[in-house]
Each structure stands twice: as C-alpha cells, then as structure tokens.
Structure 1
Amino acid sequence: MGKLIYSMIVSLDGYVADPEGEFASWAQPDEQVLAEVTKETSAVSTYLLGKRMYQMMSVWETDPEVIEQSPESTQFAQVWQRADKIVYSRTLESVHTSRTELRSHFDPEEVARIKAAAEGNVTVAGPTLAAEAIRHGLVDRLDLLACPMAVGGGVRFLPDQRIDLALEHEQRFDNGMVQLRYEVLSST
C-alpha cells in the first residue's frame, strides 16, 4: 500500500500561481532541486492529475527539448514516463501520453483502491484535485517546495479547512528553495 502525497511548488505565502495565474518565473527548480525531486518521485507508481497539471506535465514525455535540456531533466522524464497517470477532467476528450487514463470525475472510493493496491506512492498534483482528496481524508503527506518569493495572492496550495500536520523532513537548497514534508495527522 502506498501513501497518497500532495506535492507542489509553492510561494512562501502559500500559492501555486500568482494572481495572474503565472508561476514559471518564480517556481523553476534548478538542477540541485530537480535531482532531489527525481529521487523523491522515483518511488511514485501513479500520478493523479487535474487537466491543467496534466497538460503542463505531459511535456516530460512529448517535448524532446524539455526532456533533453539537462541530465537531471532526462532522469526526471524517465521517472515520470514509467509511472501510471490518471487525469481527471470534464472537458478533455482524450490523453496523449502513455500509461495514462482519463476520468470525468473524482471518485474517492476508486482513489482509495488505487492507493491500497499501489506498488509505490501515489501523488496528487493540482490544488483543486488535491482539495478533493484532502476533503475525503485520503492524503497522507504534503510535500512542498517553498520558493523564496511571496506573490500576495492567486491559486492557493491548501483548501480552506483545518489540517493537522507533523513535520517529517526539511531540506534547504542553494537557490533558496526549501523542501518541506508533513505527515497529515487529521483534516476536518
């Protein structure tokens, strides 16, 4: 049985995108951070993705320029490609990456079964989809890569509800990012 992990890059004030929906200028991991992300995600057997996260992440299989931009990028792409992916969208008609299935809605019972049967960990990416998993008590761990940037608003990392957490791990990187890992004790 794997853990269900909600993992995202966030601003220091808790946003995954700024008020204009932008994140690329401030949420780019450098090679040191990408190496750690690759190490962490090598234990992932299944990704649960919303439509926007899937469209953003699919470049790790479909865009040779992104895949080959560095040795660390190539390694991350290999890890991402070998995992199963489930995309939740009411508007997508098809998916264009291997090992990928499309669902029209989030089914907490199915996600619980996926988690129970997983050979590795399961990650949920995207704040809307993750909020749904958190509301159903399915998320076991939060993994944040906190950027040394406050954006003052935008798309929040966490839903508006109480979540009791215990810090399991922290790591600082040369570029100012900090990796934080929290066990979810309870959410109400």
Structure 2
Amino acid sequence: MGTLVYSMQVSLDGFVADAAGEFTSWARPDEQVLAAINDEHSRVSTYLLGRRMYQTMAVWETNPEVIEQSPQSTEFAQIWQKADKVVFSRTLEAVDTSHTQLRTRFDPEEVAQMKADAQGNVTIDGPTVAAHAIRHGLVDRIDVLLCPVVVGGGLRFLPDLRLDLDLQHEQRFDNGMVQLRYDVLPSHEISA
C-alpha cells in the first residue's frame, strides 16, 4: 500500500501562487533543494494532478530546455517521466506525456484503490484536486517546501478545514527555503 502525499511549494502566508497566478519567480528551487526533491520523488510511483498542475509539470517531458537546465533538473525529469500520472480535469481533452491517464472527475474510491495498489508513494499535486483528497481523508502526509516570501493572496495551499498534523521532518536550505514533512493524524471530534 502506498502513502498519499500532498506536496507543494508554498509562500510563508500559505499560497501556491499569488493573486496573478505567478509562482515561478519565488518558488524556484536551487540545486540543493532540487536534490532533496529528487530524493523524495524517487519513491513516487504515481502522480495525481489537476489540469493546471499537469500543464505546469508536463514540461519535464516535453521541453528539452527545462529538462537539461541542470543535472538535478535532468534527474527530476527522469523520475517524473517514468512514474504513472493521472490527471483530473473536466476541460482537458488529451494528455501529451507518457504513462498518463485522463479522468473527468475525482472519484475518492478510485483514488483509495490507486493508493492501495501503489508500489511506492502516490503524490497529489495541485491544491484544488488535493482539497478533494483531504476532505475524503485520503491524504496521509503533507510535504511543504516553504518559500521565504509573503505574496499577500492568491491560490491557497490548504482548504478551510481543521487538520491535525505531526511534524516528522524539517530541513533548512541555503536559499532560505524550509522543507517540512507532516503526517496527517486521524480526525477526531473536537469538544466545544
């Protein structure tokens, strides 16, 4: 059985993109951070992605300039290309990467089965699709790559609900980013 991991790069105030949809200027990992990402993603067998995240990540297979920009980038591209990918989208008509399936809706039972059948970790990337998995109690772990920036608004990392978390790992990088890894604790009734 795999572990379902929600993993994103996040501003200090909790956004994965600013109000204009921009993130590349402040969430770009350097080689040290990419090495840590590669280490973690080497255990991923399946990526679950929303449409926007898929279109962002597809460059790791379709754009040689991105793939070849550094040794760590090349390694990440190889990891991403060999993994299975499932894209959830009502608007995307086709996918253009290998090992990729398209679904028109998020089915929690199907995702639970993917997780049960997984030979490695399953990551869910993109806050919209991750919110569905979180609300259905499917996410086992949340990995945050905290970026040293406050953007003031935009696309939120987490949905509006309570999650109890247990810190399992923290690592600081020279560029000011911090990697945090939390296990999601089973939900419980909160007394008033």
Q: Return the TM-score normalized by structure 2.
A: 0.97
Shift of 1:187: 4.5
Please name the residue that 1:95 is paired with: 95
Where 1:132 maps in the other structure, the secondary structure is helix
In structure 1, C-alpha distance between the alignment counterparts of 2:23 and 2:36, rounded to whole Å: 20
**Aligned-pair distance for 1:20?**
1.1
Q: State the match for 1:24 in structure 2.
A: 24
Alignment of 1:35-184 (within 5 A): 35-184=35-184
The number of aligned residues is: 188
**Distance in 2, Cα, partners of 1:100 & 1:187:** 32
Stretches of structure 1 that go unaligned for 5 or more consecutive residues are: none
The AA in structure 1 aligned to 2:51 is K
Equivalents in 2 of 1:144, 1:127: separation in Å? 12
Deviation sequence 1:112-158 (CA, Å, 0-9, x none): 00000000000000000000000000000000000000111111000
1:168 maps to a residue whose letter is Q
Do the aligned partners of 1:47 and 1:84 also contact (CA within 8 Å) in 2?
A: yes
Kindly indicate whether the alpha-carbon contact (under 8 Å) linking 1:134 and 1:187 is maintained by their aligned counterparts in 2: no
d(CA) in 2 for partners of 1:67, 1:9? 19
TM-score, normalising length from structure 1?
A: 0.99
Letter in 2 for 1:72: Q
Q: CA RMSD in A?
A: 0.8
Identity %: 73
Shift of 1:19: 1.1
Q: Runs ≥4 in structure 1, deviation > 4 angstroms?
A: none
In structure 1, how many angstroms separate the alpha carbons of the residues matched to 2:112 and 2:149? 35
Indicate the SS of the match to 1:182.
Answer: strand
Work out the CA distance in 2 between the residues paired with 1:90 and 1:187: 30
Q: CA deviation at 1:186?
A: 3.0
> Are positions 1:14 and 2:14 aligned together?
yes
Does the 8 Å contact 1:161/1:187 carry over to 2? no
Corresponding letter in the other structure for 1:96 = D
Residue 115 of structure 1 aligns with an amino acid whose one-letter code is K
Give unpaired runs (5+ residues) of structure 2: none
Q: Which amino acid aligns with 2:41?
A: T
Secondary structure at the aligned position of 2:13 is classed as: coil
